[in-house]
């Protein structure tokens, strides 16, 4: 998956990832790391296979790798990270030879990954929402009581 490697090595992606890692280094809650992005991508790919949805693997991985890349801008400037991530995704995906259609689909998924999974968005958006939540092990997190996520969004059970 050359284009996924291209996303990961893109200068804007690396800059934002580095800023985010530094900003979250002492965070007691879930961090937004490459491990999180990979967990989300792998869960999304499993949902895709289970549903026989036929989404391209690179589309799934691109959405997963980019969905939280705007978190540092949220921390630094207050911009909602879904909006910042979608904006940055356009630049990165353009430079990595994704089609305009693919870019719009990935941006749509990023913009909806914080909402309700039953809003009727594309399978990519529903999978991103679901995987983002299920990748978090709230049921065994030592900081769960201090977390500001509502209980309805927390992953409080081992799920499959």
- Domains of the chain listed by start with CATH number: 2-146 (1.10.3210.10)
The model's pLDDT over 109-148, given as tens digits with 9 standing for 90+, comes to 999 987 754 555 799 999 999 999 888 876 767 777 777 7
SS (H, E, C) the chain: CHHHHHHHHCHHHHHHHHHHHHHCCCCCCCCCCHHHHHHHHHHHHHHHHHHCCCCCHHHHHHHHHHCCCCHHHHHHHCCCHHHHHHHHHHHHHHHCCCCHHHHHHHHHHHHHCCCCCCCCCCHHHHHHHHHHHHCCCHHHCCCHHHCCCCCCCCCCCCCC
The model's pLDDT over 63-90, given as tens digits with 9 standing for 90+, comes to 999 999 999 999 999 999 999 999 999 9
pTM over 0.85: yes
């Amino acid at each position: 998956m050359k284009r996924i490697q291209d996303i990961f090595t893109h200068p804007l992606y690396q800059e934002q990832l580095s800023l985010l890692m530094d900003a979250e280094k002492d965070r007691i809650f879930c961090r937004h790391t490459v491990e999180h992005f990979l967990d989300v991508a792998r869960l999304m790919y499993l949902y895709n296979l289970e549903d026989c949805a036929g989404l391209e693997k690179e589309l799934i991985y691109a959405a997963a790798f980019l969905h939280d890349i705007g978190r540092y801008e949220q921390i630094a400037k207050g911009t909602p990270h879904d909006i910042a991530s979608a904006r940055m995704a356009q630049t990165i995906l353009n430079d990595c030879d994704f089609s305009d259609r693919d870019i719009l689909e990935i941006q749509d998924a990023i913009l909806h990954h914080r909402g309700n999974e039953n809003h009727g968005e594309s399978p990519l958006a529903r999978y991103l929402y679901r995987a983002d939540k299920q990748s978090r092990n709230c049921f065994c997190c030592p900081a769960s009581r201090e977390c500001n996520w509502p209980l309805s969004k927390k992953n409080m059970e081992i799920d499959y």
